Structure 1
Amino acid sequence: MAKVNISLDAELVVEVMVLAGVGSPQDAVEAVVRDYIARGHRTEARVQSQDEPRRTTDSRPPLPEG
């Protein structure tokens, strides 16, 4: 996997390290990024599962009225 070097505010990284309970700045930031990505995937899956009944309902022809 390719590596990327970035600069972050030291106070921000220390806070992430404390919240994540990780001793390494690299590991702390990586954990936050992985969690953010996983959360996005869970949200996408939830939206798709909620949207699925609407799609199946919309695909039926309208019932005759009257």
Structure 2
Amino acid sequence: MARVNIGVDAELVVEVMVLAGVGNPQDAVELVLRDYIKRGHRTEARTASPDEDLRVREPRSDGHAG
């Protein structure tokens, strides 16, 4: 996986480390980012329209949709 180096306010990182219970700044920031992405996917899943859900599903083998 490619790596990106960024500068982040030290107080912000320390707060994230404390909240996440992680002793490594890199791990703490990665956890926050992964959680943010997962929340976004859960929100998309909850707010998807019923029509969109039907388009994604595979047709049933008995010939009925859904």
Deviation at 1:34, TM superposition (A): 0.1
**Unmatched tracts of structure 1, length 5 or more:** 56-66
The number of residues matched between the two structures is 51
Listed one character per residue, the Cα deviations across residues 9-45 of structure 1 (whole Å, up to 9, x for unaligned) are 0000000000000000000000000000000000000
Structure 1 residue 27 corresponds to structure 2 residue 22:
no
Supply the distance in 1 between the matched residues of 2:12 and 2:27 (Cα, whole angstroms).
14
Equivalent position amino acid for 1:23 in 2: G
Distance 1:46 1:2 in 2: 31
The gaps in structure 2 that reach 5 residues or longer are 52-66
Identity of aligned residues (%): 76
> Who is 1:18 aligned against?
18
Deviation, 1:6, is 0.3
What's the Cα RMSD here?
Answer: 0.6
